Structure 1
């Protein structure tokens, strides 16, 4: 039985990497077990580990659900020196999405449900009373 998930991205400078991901998630890491490593529980049971090391360019994408993709995109463009990215949609796909890279080449992205009722159901199902934490 699989019940949790972690994914690890490597960054060449842990201090800069931690700052980037603190700003992306708008909070400090949930777990820093030792130097050169930080971890965020993005949603219950799903963790992103950021470790100092040689980045694997082009890894991912790790796509994160947001309630407003344009606002999330603009916040990143305003805050970081990342390349502008396109938001895509297709009639048969229930979300719109966009992909970008962190400063070390790790691929990330956002997605937003088109049906806001479905979006709210997923948020409640996944986060329950913990919505304010994430």
Structure 2
């Protein structure tokens, strides 16, 4: 199999509340709203993050975002009222774990120098 791209899906109960959170997380409005219950953000690498209404699965999604400077992102997010529920430094990555309003897990991950 040759994978050329990826789409991450995050199930939420209230799309309006979720869009507010993810706009603050990503620092911008969605790149697409293909239908009322869906918002999408494109990543610089070409992938997409799709937030969609699915009350039965809301809160069970997980997303990891690789960032260049986790300290910078933590500072920016704190200005928007988004604070991590946990932080860790390992041999290969620095990470910060967040929860969206539905409880979905979002992890920011910065590779340690020389490991990526």
Q: Shorter-chain-normalised TM-score: which range?
A: 0.7 to 0.9
1:118 Cα offset (Å): 7.1
Q: 2:61 aligns with which of 35, 59, 62?
A: 59
The structure-2 alpha-carbon separation of the partners of 1:52 and 1:58, relative to structure 1 and needing over 3 Å to count, comes to closer
Residues 1:39 and 2:37 are matched in the alignment: no
Tell me which protein shows more helix as a share of its residues. 1
In 2: Cα distance, 1:106 partner to 1:28 partner:
19
2:101 corresponds in structure 1 to 103
In structure 2, relative to structure 1, the CA distance for the partners of 1:70 and 1:86 (3 Å cut) is farther
Bigger relative contact order, structure 1 or 2 (CA pairs below 8 A, ≥6 apart): 2
What CA distance in whole angstroms lies between the structure 1 residues aligned with 2:104 and 2:78? 16
Deviation string for 1:46-90 (max 9, x for gaps)? 111111221432421x111223213322433442365x4332122
| Distance in 1 of aligned mates of 2:50 and 2:5 | 13
Name the CA distance, whole Å, in 1 between partners of 2:12 and 2:59: 10
Taking only aligned residues, the RMSD between alpha carbons, in angstroms, comes to 2.2
- Counterpart-to-counterpart distance in 2, 1:6 and 1:107: 16
User: Greater strand percent: which structure?
Assistant: 2
Contact 2:59 2:103 in 1 (8 A): yes
CA contact (8 A) 1:39 1:48 kept: yes
- What is the TM-score with the length of structure 2 in the denominator? 0.81
Gaps of 5+ in 1: 120-134
Cross-structure match for 1:85:
85
| SS of residue paired to 1:87 | strand
Give the TM-score normalised by the residue count of structure 1: 0.71
Give, in angstroms, the shift of residue 112 of structure 1. Answer: 1.4
- 2:4 aligns with 3
